[in-house]
Chain A
Amino acid sequence: KNQVEQSPQSLIILEGKNCTLQCNYTVSPFSNLRWYKQDTGRGPVSLTIMTFSENTKSNGRYTATLDADTKQSSLHITASQLSDSASYICVVILNYQLIWGAGTKLIIKP
């Protein structure tokens, strides 16, 4: 069973709309949880890093939340832009090991 599961697998929204991507994890406790953005044909780029004790972290239009009780994290994107089209990957760091989710592919349509 995957230790980090993301949903949905893919998502299509119109430009300007908001969306929320989900990450459920089973590993606990961990040192931190990260969200990465991966453009097509490029390597992942870090968006947010949250420690186990943090509830929320923002980076511009991206806001990540963490609920340690339900073992869920979400990434909320506000006022989406065409450049937000990418895969978004949730990563949990446990004992120096990075455990990667499979990602959510987000497509923004004009």
Chain B
Amino acid sequence: NAGVTQTPKFQVLKTGQSMTLQCAQDMNHEYMSWYRQDPGMGLRLIHYSVGAGITDQGEVPNGYNVSRSTTEDFPLRLLSAAPSQTSVYFCASSYQRDTEAFFGQGTRLTVV
């Protein structure tokens, strides 16, 4: 019973590099989302998807892209990493947008 699986768990990037954070869920949830968590702040929504082929921007989308080609997968792409993107990233899924969300274990990203 895997739930929401995120990879990698840790990553260090140099400024300007690009990378993709992977997220997969096996609960057949339609709604998936990406958050970033910074010290002293609440989770902030980056992008979300209400189903395969549909994505939309959240509160802090700049510098990130997403795609949703299947119900299971929702990768987050950093286009050109900046030190301001140093954070912990969480992927979440839920049956609907306002139902209980299940989170992955997070990816701790450091941009130097």
Question: A: which residues have CB within 8 A of B?
Answer: 2, 4, 31-32, 34, 41-46, 49, 89, 93, 96, 98-103
State the Cβ distance, B81 to closest chain A Cβ, in Å.
22
Name B103's contact: one of A41, A45, A99 (CB within 8 Å).
Answer: A45
Known: A43-B106, A101-B42. 6 other contacts (CB 8 A): A42-B105, A43-B103, A44-B90, A98-B43, A102-B42, A103-B42
Spell out B's residues near A (CB within 8 Å). Answer: 4, 40-45, 90, 92, 97-98, 100-101, 103-106
Do the beta carbons of B98 and A93 come within 8 Å of each other? yes
Picked from B40, B43, B106, the residue with its CB within 8 Å of the CB of A41 is B106
Name the residue in A34, A49, A89, A100 with the highest tally of chain B Cβ atoms < 10 Å from its Cβ: A100
Complex alpha-carbon distance, A100 and B58, angstroms: 13
Bound Cα distance from A17 to B41, whole angstroms? 28
- B92–A43 CB distance below 8 A: yes
Contact of B42 with A100 in the complex, beta carbons under 8 Å:
yes
Partner of A4, one of B42, B103, B104: B42
Q: List chain A residues, Cβ under 8 A from B42.
A: 2, 4, 89, 99-103
Task: State which of A4, A43, A89 has its C-beta within 8 Å of the C-beta of B105.
Answer: A43
